Amino acid sequence: MAKMPELAALMTRLRSCDTPTVCNAIEVAQGKRGFDRFTHRMMQWSGPADATIVGFARTAKIAGRMPPSEPADVIRARRMAYFRAMAEGPRPAIAVVEDEDGEAAMGAWWGEVHAQVHGKVFGLAGAVTNGVMRDLGDMPDDFPVLAGSIGPSHGFVHVRDIGTPVTVFGMSVADGDLIHADRHGAVAIPPEALPKLSDALDVLFSSEEIVLGPIRDGTVTLAEFEALWAAFEKARI
| pLDDT level of residue 237 (50, 70, 90 thresholds) | low
Strands 53-63, 178-182: pairing is antiparallel
| pLDDT level of residue 6 (50, 70, 90 thresholds) | confident
What is the domain partition of the chain in residue ranges?
Answer: 1-35+191-237, 37-189
What is the C-alpha to C-alpha distance for residues 68 and 81, in angstroms, rounded to an integer?
A: 17
Task: Determine phi and psi for 113, rounding to 5 degrees.
Answer: -65, -55
Question: Which element (helix H / strand E) includes 146?
Answer: strand 145-147
Is residue 21 within 8 Å of 204, Cβ to Cβ?
Answer: yes
Q: Name the amino acid, one letter, at 127.
A: A
Statement: residue 127 has pLDDT above 90: yes
What is the C-alpha to C-alpha distance for residues 19 and 79, in angstroms, rounded to an integer?
A: 31
- Please name every residue paired with 132 in a beta bridge, in sequence order, or none if there are none: 108, 149
Secondary structure class of 99 (helix, strand, coil): strand
Secondary structure class of 172 (helix, strand, coil): strand
Query: What topology does CATH give the domain 37-189?
Result: Glucose Oxidase; domain 1 (3.50.30)
Residue 236: half-sphere exposure toward Cβ, Cα within 13 Å: 20
Say if residue 191 is preceded by a cis peptide, omega within 30 of 0: no
Kindly report, residue by residue over 134-182, the tens digit of the pLDDT. Answer: 999 999 999 999 999 999 999 999 999 999 999 999 999 999 999 999 9
Kindly report, residue by residue over 59-69, the tens digit of the pLDDT. Answer: 999 999 999 99
